[in-house]
DNA sequence: CTTGCCGGGTT
DNA sequence: AACCCGGCAAG
């Protein structure tokens, strides 16, 4: 069940390969990728939402691929934004290349989709601007439907991403959001005019608090942004939740390379974000203190309750001792270290329970050479293991095979229904997805179809299995389910859900 | 409703 | 160190 987590797990490493995507992706696609990224930055709403409410002291900042020379930044780029205050301040974009997985050579050879982001001659900049896009959508670069749909869906008619070759004014920084509250306090604009000197400082401070810096988009979010429109178009769905479910499945169905692409994008976004807001912390977004308190209280309550429950309804599964044994190797963190998180398994990277540890504990995944080799080498091409055609095909197959699994997600234990693999090919993906979405509304109806979920991705949060599942890995899978999960695995449809806590 | 990320807390 | 929890990101 490794595949997924490992793959994405290697944004860095995988990214290096994926970055080169060259082999797998056409140039057009790469261009498309560029668009994706660009739009991902530019399409965020703040401007659209409350453009005029932005305080003068909080200049709009944009991500842009505008030509930029480190030593000769445009005047308007001289400012950066203080992470906590949102107050403009001199930018000093650190060189992100050190972190960038792609070797310079590689980048040079093949135009990286993120080329504009890669500090080759210039560094990514976020020009401060007050204007929007002046140019209509660059049709010349509209290389694929997905991108066009993406863009059209993400940009208001009047706001279209600038052609990278154009010297545009750029767009407001997507991550900076002025809370609605500000609208009322928009008087700040006015008051700032009539305000006295004494209030200036205050205003600034107020502004600090007002500004909300959004989190950078993660890989999946980026993927969602790109694909949502597509899905919406293909399906007749409107509900975001349903769309998301489909997107989630598609995401898992993506090949490693494809996912890696998004991980890479996300990584860039984070880097960029951190450059822009050096001290930015997700924690700053909200009233951390209050939340923390609330959380703590809630937790305490839950703990108390669960304790009581367990006394009355002891759960055998939960009471089971950790599968780990003393011979088990270190977990990802200890094994690879903090500086090699790309080698960590997904959960570890998410600060979740290490799956390799559990799996590897036994004889299955532990040895990196055997089955584990696959596990331990995320970036390795799936094709090497998958006898079937291309990873893409197997992927799509995988996707089709478990289109109605939405309601099965909660399953914690891997489900293996090898016999179902031989099932007749589904009519069409879209149809299935539609039905899946529909099924989500009527869980009962989809229950029988849920069996189609042959992927052991079952545990939705455990992406590390889709690929492996597509290629029956009886040895490892069965080994795990039988030898390691005696008490839980037997459950056919895994009734063990999150609720059982 | 989705996945990924991350801070903070707990064990 | 390992892990859990909860919140946030978009729509």
Q: What is the 3-state secondary structure (H, E, C) of A467-490?
A: HHHHCCCHHHHHHHHHHHCCCCCC
Residue A217 (CA) to nucleotide C9 (C1'), in angstroms, measures 6
Please list, in sequence order, all residues whose beta carbon lies within 8 angstroms of the beta carbon of residue A93, skipping any fewer than 6 positions away.
A119, A123, A124, A125, A275
**Dist CA A254 CA A399 (whole Å):** 8
Q: How many other CB atoms are there within 10 angstroms of residue A398's CB atom?
A: 23
User: In the 106-135 stretch of chain A, whose C-beta falls under 7 Å of nucleic acid strand C?
Assistant: none
Distance CA A131, CA A146 (A): 27
Domain's final residue, options A319, A336, A370 = A319
- How much is the pLDDT for A223? 95
Rounded Cα distance between A374 and A368, Å, is 7
Residues A238 and A362 in one domain: no
Nearest Cα residue to A7 out of A332, A384, A380: A380
Same structural domain for residues A42 and A189?
Answer: yes
Question: Protein A106 CA to nucleic acid B7 C1', in Å?
Answer: 35
Please tell me whether any atom of strand B lies within 7 Å of the Cβ of A299.
Answer: yes
- How many angstroms is C1' of C11 away from CA of A367? 43
Nearest nucleotide to A285, CA against C1' atoms: C8
> Within a 10 A sphere around the Cβ of A377, how many other Cβ atoms?
18
Residues A36 and A68: their CA atoms lie apart, in Å, by: 20
Examine residue A365 and state whether it is found in any structural domain, yes or no. yes
Is A291's CB less than 7 Å from nucleic acid strand C? yes
Of A269, A297, A319, the residue at which a domain comes to its end is A319
A408 and A259 in a common domain? no
Distance CA A304, CA A306 (A): 6
**Distance between CA A433 and CA A429 in Å, rounded?**
6
* Cβ A45 to strand C below 7 Å: yes
> Based on the domain organization, do A236 and A297 belong to the same domain?
no
Measuring from the CA of residue A212 to each C1' atom, give the nucleotide at the shortest distance.
C8
Instruction: Output the distance from A200 CA to B3 C1' rounded to whole Å.
Output: 42
User: In this structure, is residue A490 part of a structural domain?
Assistant: no
> Would you say the C-beta of A215 is within 7 Å of strand C?
yes
Same domain, A353 and A255: no
Q: Is the CB of residue A1 less than 8 Å from the CB of residue A359?
A: yes
Q: How far is the CA of A106 from the C1' of C7 (A)?
A: 38
Neighbours of A378 (CB within 10 A): 28
**Residue A247 Cβ under 7 A from any strand C atom:** no
Vertex A380 angle, CA A343 and A262, to 5°:
70
Residue-range definition of the domain harbouring residue A122: 3-285
Any domain includes A494: no
B4 C1' to A263 CA distance, Å: 9
Residues A314 and A265 in one domain: no
Given this model, what pLDDT does residue A347 score? 66
* Distance from the Cα of residue A475 to its chain's centroid: 31
In strand C, the nucleotides that come within 7 Å of a protein beta carbon are 1-11
Residue A392 in contact with residue A21, Cβ under 8 Å? no
Residue A61 φ/ψ, nearest 5 degrees: -120, 145
Strand B bases near protein CB (under 7 Å) are 1-11
Of A237, A265, A285, the residue that ends a domain is: A285
**Which chain A residues in 92-131 sit with Cβ < 7 A of strand B?**
none
Same domain as A469, residue A354: yes
Letter string b/e over residues A210-240, b meaning 16 or more CB atoms within 10 A of that residue's CB: bbbbbebbbbbbbbbbbbbbbbbebbebeee
What pLDDT was estimated at residue A228? 92
- Beta strand residue intervals within A341-470, DSSP E: none
Whether A365 and A356 have beta carbons less than 8 Å apart is answered as yes
Whether residue A497 is contained in a domain is answered as: no
Same domain for A447 and A399? yes
Residue A152 CA to nucleotide B7 C1', Å? 35
- The closest of A347, A453, A467, A354 to A409, measured between CA atoms, is A453
Same domain, A245 and A374: no
Instruction: List CB contacts of A429: < 8 A, sequence separation 6 or more.
Output: A396, A399, A400, A403
| Confidence at residue A222, expressed as pLDDT on a 0 to 100 scale | 95
Residue A217: its pLDDT value, please? 92
Verify if strand C has an atom below 7 Å from the CB of A299: yes
- Protein CA A472 to sugar C1' C3 (Å): 30
SS3 A162: coil
Q: Specify the 3-state DSSP secondary structure of A88.
A: strand
Judge whether residue A223 contacts strand B, using its CB and a 7 Å cut-off.
no
A282 touches strand B (CB under 7 A): yes
A244 touches strand B (CB under 7 A): yes
The packing angle between helices A219-234 and A429-441, to 10°, is 100
Q: Is residue A501 part of a domain?
A: no
How many angstroms separate the CA of A322 from the C1' of B11? Answer: 14
Cα-flanking dihedrals φ and ψ of residue A125, to 5°?
Answer: -130, 160
Report the number of distinct structural domains present in chain A.
3
Asked if residue A167 and residue A139 are part of one domain, the reply reads yes
Same domain, A94 and A230: yes
Q: Is residue A498 part of a domain?
A: no
Whether residue A467 is contained in a domain is answered as yes
Residue A239 domain-assigned (yes or no): yes
* Rounded (10°) CA dihedral A14, A20, A21, A25: 170
Closest-approach nucleotide to residue A215, Cα vs C1': C9
Q: Are residues A215 and A123 in the same domain?
A: yes
Query: Which CA-bearing residue is nearest the C1' of C1?
Result: A334
3-class SS of residue A177: strand
Q: Is the CB of A304 within 7 Å of strand B?
A: no
Q: Is A284 helix (H, G, I), strand (E, B) or coil?
A: helix
pLDDT at A285: 55
For chain A, 501 residues long, give each residue's pLDDT as a single digit of tens: 333 333 333 333 333 333 333 223 322 233 333 333 333 333 333 333 333 333 322 333 333 333 333 333 333 333 333 333 333 333 333 333 333 333 232 332 333 333 333 333 333 333 333 322 222 223 223 233 333 333 333 333 333 333 333 333 334 455 666 544 333 333 333 333 333 444 454 555 555 456 788 889 999 999 999 999 999 998 888 888 999 999 999 999 999 888 998 999 898 888 888 888 877 776 665 444 444 544 444 444 444 444 443 333 333 222 223 333 333 456 676 777 666 666 666 666 666 666 666 443 333 333 333 333 333 333 333 333 333 333 333 333 333 333 333 333 333 333 333 333 333 333 334 444 444 444 444 333 333 333 333 333 333 333 333 333 333 333 333 333 333 333 333 333 333 333 332
Q: Distance from residue A460 (CA) to nucleotide B1 (C1'), in Å?
A: 12
Helix (H) or strand (E) holding A445: helix A443-446
Nearest nucleotide to the CA of A338, by C1', is C1
d(CA A143, CA A363): 48
């Amino acid at each position: 069940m490794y595949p997924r987590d490992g793959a994405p797990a290697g944004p860095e490493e995988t990214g290096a390969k994926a970055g080169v995507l060259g082999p797998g992706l056409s140039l057009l696609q790469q261009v498309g990728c560029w668009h994706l990224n660009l739009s991902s930055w530019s399409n965020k709403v703040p401007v659209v939402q409350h453009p005029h409410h932005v305080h003068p002291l909080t200049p709009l900042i944009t991500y842009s691929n505008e030509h930029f020379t480190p030593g000769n930044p445009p005047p308007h780029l001289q400012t950066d934004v203080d992470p906590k205050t949102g107050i403009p301040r001199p930018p000093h974009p650190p060189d992100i290349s050190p972190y960038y997985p792609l070797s310079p050579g590689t980048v040079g050879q093949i135009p990286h989709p993120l080329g504009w982001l890669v500090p080759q001659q210039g560094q990514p900049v976020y020009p401060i601007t007050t204007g929007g896009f002046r140019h209509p959508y660059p049709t010349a670069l509209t290389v694929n439907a997905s991108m066009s749909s993406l863009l059209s869906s993400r940009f208001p008619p009047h706001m279209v991403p600038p052609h990278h070759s154009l010297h545009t004014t750029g767009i407001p920084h997507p991550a900076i959001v002025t809370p609605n509250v500000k609208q009322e306090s928009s008087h700040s604009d006015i008051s700032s005019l009539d305000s006295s000197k004494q209030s200036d400082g205050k205003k600034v401070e107020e502004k600090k608090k007002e500004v909300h810096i959004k989190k950078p988009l993660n890989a999946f979010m980026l993927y969602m942004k790109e694909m949502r429109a597509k899905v919406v178009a293909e399906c007749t769905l409107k509900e975001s939740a349903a769309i998301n479910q489909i997107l989630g499945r598609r995401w898992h169905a993506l090949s490693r390379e494809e996912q890696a692409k998004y991980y890479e994008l996300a990584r860039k976004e984070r880097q960029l974000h951190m450059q822009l807001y050096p001290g930015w912390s997700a924690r700053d977004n909200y009233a951390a203190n209050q939340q923390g308190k609330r959380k703590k209280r809630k937790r305490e309550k839950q703990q108390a309750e669960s304790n009581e429950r367990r006394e009355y309804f002891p759960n055998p599964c939960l009471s089971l001792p950790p599968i780990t044994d003393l011979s088990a190797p270190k977990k990802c963190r200890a094994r690879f270290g903090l500086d090699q998180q790309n080698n960590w398994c997904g959960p570890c990277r998410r600060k979740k329970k290490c799956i390799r540890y559990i799996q590897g504990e036994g004889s299955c995944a532990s040895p990196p050479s055997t089955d584990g080799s696959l596990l331990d080498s995320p970036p390795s091409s799936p094709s090497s293991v998958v006898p079937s055609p291309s990873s893409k095909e197997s992927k799509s197959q995988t996707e089709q095979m478990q289109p109605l699994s939405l309601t099965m997600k909660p399953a914690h234990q891997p489900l293996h229904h090898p016999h179902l693999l031989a099932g007749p090919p589904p009519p069409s993906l879209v149809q299935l997805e539609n039905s899946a979405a529909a099924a989500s509304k009527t869980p009962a109806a989809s229950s029988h179809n849920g069996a189609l979920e042959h992927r052991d991705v079952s545990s939705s949060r455990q992406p590390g299995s889709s690929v492996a599942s597509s290629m029956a890995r009886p040895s490892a899978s069965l080994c795990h389910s039988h030898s390691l999960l005696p008490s839980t695995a037997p459950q056919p449809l895994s009734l063990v859900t999150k609720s059982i806590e």
